[in-house]
C-alpha cells in the first residue's frame, strides 16, 4: 500500500470492520507470548514436580541396574523391560506435556479472545504466489520480524552462555563430589536458566505485542470515504422503507384513529398495548373495539385519548387479550362482557362530566348524510 493510501486512513475502524477483521484472524499477536507462557509452565513443573520425579527416575534407574541379571536376553524379555520403562516415563512426562499444551492454548486465547477463526486457515491462492512471498520476506514487516527474532535468539544464547559460565564455578567441574550432588546441580542449573529466560522473554513479548498492536491499529484504520460507504450501507434502502410504510398502513387499515377522541375508555397494558372501546347505549349491542395498537401505535392512541380527555384505564390482562382477540369495528368477545362492563361502570362514575359532553362530540364526529 502506498504512503498516500496510508496517510488517508485517518478514521478509527468501525465495529463492522473490526468484526470482519477478527473473523479473518487479523489480531495483534506476538508469538513470544505463547513461548513465554509455555516456558513458564515448564518452570512451574520443574519447581513443584521435578524434584520428586527426579528421585523416582533415579530409583527406577537404580532398580534396573541392580536387576540387570534378571532381565532375559530375549526379544520377549527386552520388550517387557522397555514397555515398563516407557510406561514409567509416560506417567512422568504426560502431566508436563499437558500443562505446556494448556499454557499454549491460553496464550493464544488471550490474544484472540478465544474466538474461532476458520477463515484464517482457508487456503488462498495468494499465499502460494512466489512474488507475494518474496515481498513478505524482504519487505518492511519481514525486516522487523527478522530483527525481533535475531534479538530474541541473541538474548537467549547470551543468557544460556552466561548461566553456564556462572555454573562452571561449581565444584562438580574441579573436585571429587558425591554422585548425589549431580541431580541437585542439574536442577539448580535448569531452574536458574528457565527463570531468567522466562523473564527476558516476557519483556520481549510485551514489547513485540505493543509493536504488533500499533501495526494492527494502523492497518485497521479507515479512510473517510470507507466510513461514508459503510454508513450508506447501513441506511435503510428506499424499497425497504416503502415496504415498512406499507406494513404500517396495513396495520392502520380498518381503523380511524380520530375515532379514539369519541371513545368511552382506552384500556392499556400500560406501555405496549392500547385498545379504544365505544359503547353507545341504544345503538351498540356490546362495547365496540374502535382502535387498537401495539408499541408506537399504542402510544399514538394514548396521546389522542389524552388530548380529548378520554379516560384511560390500566388493565394488563384485558388489554393484552383484547389486542389479540378483538377486531376493529366489531363487538368485544362474549367472554369479556363482564370485565369490560365493570371497567365502564368505573369510568362512568369517575368521569361523569366527560360523558355529559361525549354525546355532543359523537354527534359532531358523525358524517353528515
Residue boundaries of the structural domains of the chain: 3-228, 246-365
Tell me, what's the pLDDT at 289?
Answer: 92
| DSSP state for residue 118 in the 8-state scheme | G
Closest among 100, 101, 109 to 27, alpha carbons compared: 109
Fold of 246-365: name from scop (3.40.1690)
| CA pair distance 262, 291, nearest whole angstrom | 11
Tell me, what's the pLDDT at 220?
Answer: 81
Closest among 85, 55, 48 to 68, alpha carbons compared: 85
Tell me, what's the pLDDT at 34?
Answer: 80
**Residues linked to residue 276 through DSSP beta bridges, in sequence order:** 266, 291
Closest among 367, 363, 365, 260 to 308, alpha carbons compared: 260
Closest among 272, 352, 361, 359 to 308, alpha carbons compared: 361
Q: Which residue has cell 379516560?
A: 311
Q: Whole-prediction pTM value?
A: 0.46
Closest among 4, 16, 368 to 226, alpha carbons compared: 16
Phi, psi of 87, rounded to the nearest 5 degrees? -65, -45
* Contact call for residues 211 and 53 (beta carbons, < 8 A): no
With 0-12 / 13-18 / 19 or more C-beta atoms within 10 angstroms meaning exposed / middle / buried, residue 123 is exposed
| CA pair distance 154, 201, nearest whole angstrom | 12
Name every residue whose Cβ is closer than 8 Å to that of residue 62 and which is 6 or more positions away in sequence: none
Tell me, what's the pLDDT at 340?
Answer: 92
* Contact call for residues 277 and 340 (beta carbons, < 8 A): yes
Stretches where the chain sits below pLDDT 70 are 1-7, 25, 50-51, 53-55, 57-58, 62, 64-78, 81, 113-139, 141, 173-174, 179-181, 233-255, 360-362, 364-369
| DSSP state for residue 28 in the 8-state scheme | -
Tell me, what's the pLDDT at 312?
Answer: 92
Can you read off the three cell numbers belonging to residue 226?
A: 470507507
Can you read off the three cell numbers belonging to residue 309?
A: 380527555
Q: Which residue has cell 512474488?
A: 131
Can you read off the three cell numbers belonging to residue 256?
A: 380511524
Q: Containing H/E element for 230?
A: helix 224-234
| CA pair distance 269, 320, nearest whole angstrom | 7
* Contact call for residues 284 and 294 (beta carbons, < 8 A): no
Can you read off the three cell numbers belonging to residue 306?
A: 389524552
Tell me, what's the pLDDT at 133?
Answer: 56
Q: Which residue has cell 367472554?
A: 335
Kindly report the number of other CB atoms within 10 A of residue 32's CB atom. 22
Name every residue whose Cβ is closer than 8 Å to that of residue 190 and which is 6 or more positions away in sequence: 46, 50
Amino acid at each position: 500500500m502506498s504512503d498516500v493510501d496510508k496517510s488517508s486512513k485517518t478514521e478509527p475502524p468501525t465495529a463492522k470492520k473490526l468484526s470482519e477483521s477478527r473473523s479473518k484472524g487479523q489480531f495483534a499477536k506476538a508469538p513470544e507470548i505463547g513461548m513465554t507462557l509455555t516456558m513458564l509452565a515448564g518452570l512451574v513443573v520443574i519447581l513443584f514436580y521435578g524434584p520428586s520425579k527426579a528421585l523416582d527416575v533415579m530409583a527406577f534407574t537404580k532398580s534396573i541396574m541392580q536387576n540387570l541379571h534378571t532381565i532375559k536376553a530375549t526379544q520377549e524379555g527386552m520388550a517387557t523391560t522397555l514397555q515398563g520403562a516407557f510406561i514409567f516415563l509416560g506417567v512422568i512426562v504426560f502431566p508436563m506435556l499437558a500443562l505446556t499444551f494448556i499454557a499454549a492454548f491460553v496464550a493464544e486465547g488471550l490474544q484472540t479472545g478465544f474466538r474461532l477463526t476458520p477463515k484464517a486457515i482457508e487456503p488462498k491462492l495468494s499465499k502460494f504466489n512466489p512474488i507475494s512471498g518474496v515481498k513478505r520476506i524482504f519487505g518492511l514487516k519481514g525486516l522487523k520480524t527478522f530483527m525481533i527474532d535475531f534479538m530474541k535468539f541473541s538474548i537467549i544464547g547470551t543468557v544460556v552462555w552466561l548461566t553456564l559460565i556462572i555454573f562452571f564455578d561449581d565444584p562438580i567441574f574441579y573436585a571429587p563430589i558425591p554422585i548425589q550432588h549431580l541431580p541437585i546441580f542439574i536442577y539448580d542449573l535448569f531452574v536458574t536458566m528457565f527463570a531468567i529466560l522466562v523473564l527476558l522473554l516476557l519483556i520481549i513479548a510485551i514489547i513485540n505485542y505493543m509493536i504488533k498492536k500499533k501495526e494492527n491499529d494502523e492497518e485497521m484504520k479507515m479512510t473517510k470515504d470507507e466510513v461514508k460507504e459503510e454508513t450508506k450501507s447501513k441506511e435503510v434502502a428506499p424499497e425497504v422503507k416503502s415496504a415498512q410504510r406499507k406494513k404500517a398502513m396495513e396495520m392502520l387499515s380498518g381503523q380511524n384513529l380520530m375515532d379514539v377522541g369519541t371513545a368511552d375508555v382506552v384500556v392499556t397494558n400500560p406501555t405496549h398495548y392500547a385498545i379504544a372501546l365505544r359503547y353507545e347505549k341504544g345503538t351498540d349491542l356490546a362495547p365496540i373495539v374502535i382502535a387498537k395498537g401495539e408499541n408506537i401505535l399504542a402510544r399514538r392512541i394514548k396521546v389522542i385519548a389524552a388530548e380529548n380527555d378520554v379516560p384511560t384505564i390500566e388493565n394488563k390482562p384485558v388489554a393484552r387479550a383484547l389486542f389479540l382477540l378483538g377486531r376493529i369495528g366489531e363487538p368485544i368477545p362474549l367472554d369479556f362482557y363482564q370485565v369490560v362492563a365493570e371497567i365502564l361502570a368505573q369510568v362512568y362514575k369517575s368521569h361523569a362530566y366527560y360523558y355529559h359532553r361525549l354525546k355532543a362530540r359523537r354527534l359532531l364526529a358523525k358524517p353528515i348524510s
